[in-house]
Structure 1
Amino acid sequence: MHEAMGQAGFPAEEWRRDDGYAISTDPARIDRSEVARFLAGEAYWTPGLPPELLERALAHSLPAGIHAPADGMVGFGRVVTDYTAFAYLRDVFVLPAHRGRGLATWLATVIRSHPALATVGTWMLATRDAHGVYARAGFRPVPNPEFYMSLRRGEGGDRS
């Protein structure tokens, strides 16, 4: 039997819950049109995201789809990582009909058990309104926030 391969040549992983939901890191199971629709049209963090940029992002991330028994892919998230020391969880969403079931928390929890991420010691994410979701998955405010810096295109220091 052919084993599905995930990103960076690591085998795809799958987790299942008793209620029938599953999370898969098999890129072939990602409903790219649904991800594109949600991220470009509904997500506050990626308004108007062009499909070609989504494809580039997916090619350089570990994607995870949340699948319902009868509804196909109903949620998504991806990990931007070096597969060694650092991982950034982003673009997590659950479609409205499936919210309130702990699916985003479950994704944020189980993705950390992917064997390809076993040595990652630093996990980060950013959220405007879902702090409780990620706190239930073990995420906490960054210690020593004064150590962290960021730069967004168009802000000071950007010379492009």
Structure 2
Amino acid sequence: MPADPLLHPDYEFSADAARLDAGRVHLLLTEHAYWAAGRGREVQDAAIAGSRSYAVYHRPSGALVAYARAVTDGATFAWLADVVVDPVHRGRGLGTAVVAGAVADLETLGLKRIVLKASDDGRGLYEHLGFAPLDDPAPWMERRPELGK
């Protein structure tokens, strides 16, 4: 993937799954993302295995500093999840870079819809990249084990 001219030269976006440091992803999510608190490493590894993963790396150190993944059938639908940026590297557009890179990759699939659940602090970033609230959220439903049958 060519270099993003809007991304600072000290950082690099990648969709290369072979390059992904799953341990670092797990650490970032469990320490800096409230929705992933308590998520075990085996669960995170399974989530990565069932998803397309995207990362931003700090070029001088090679460290993974931002991450996002997409759960998709590769033809009609994707759910963008687990967007996280290392707090040490925040404020440099890395959240925007990892989400924009993921969306660009997913757009090549011709999907009908990409959805996400926006956190309050991420809402502006997602709106800037073209995400909007659902026109009619009423038909959407969920099933959670803790709710019973």
TM tier, smaller? 0.7 to 0.9
In the TM superposition, what is the alpha-carbon distance from 1:116 to its structure 2 partner?
7.7
How much has 1:99 moved relative to structure 2? 1.1
In structure 1, the residue matched to 2:126 is 134
Distance 2:108 2:41 in 1: 27
- 1:145 pairs, out of 121, 133, 137, with 137
**Count of residues in Structure 1 that have an aligned counterpart in Structure 2:** 144
Give the residue type in structure 2 aligned to 1:16: A
The one-letter amino acid paired with 1:28 is A
Contact 1:29 1:65 in 2 (8 A): no
Distance 2:48 2:84 in 1: 15
- Find out whether 1:17 has 2:8 as its counterpart: no
Q: Percentage identity across aligned positions? A: 31
Q: 1:4: which partner in 2?
A: none
1:32 CA drift (Å): 1.3
Post-superposition CA distance 1:9-50 (Å, at most 9, x none) = xxxxx3523422221111122121111112223211111111
Counterpart selection for 1:51 from 14, 17, 41: 41
Higher relative contact order (CA 8 A, sep 6+): 2
CA deviations on 1:82-127 (whole Å, 9 max, x unpaired) are 0000000000111112111222122222222227842111000012
Deviation string 1:65-90 (CA, Å, 9 cap, x unpaired) is 11121132111000000000000000
> Counterpart of 2:52?
62
Q: 1:77 aligned to 2:64?
A: no
RMSD across aligned positions (CA):
1.7
Could you state the TM-score of these two structures normalised by the residue count of structure 2?
0.87
Kept in 2: contact 1:74–1:94 (CA 8 A): yes
What does residue 27 of structure 2 align with? Answer: 37
Q: Is there any run of 5+ residues in structure 2 with no aligned partner, and where? A: none
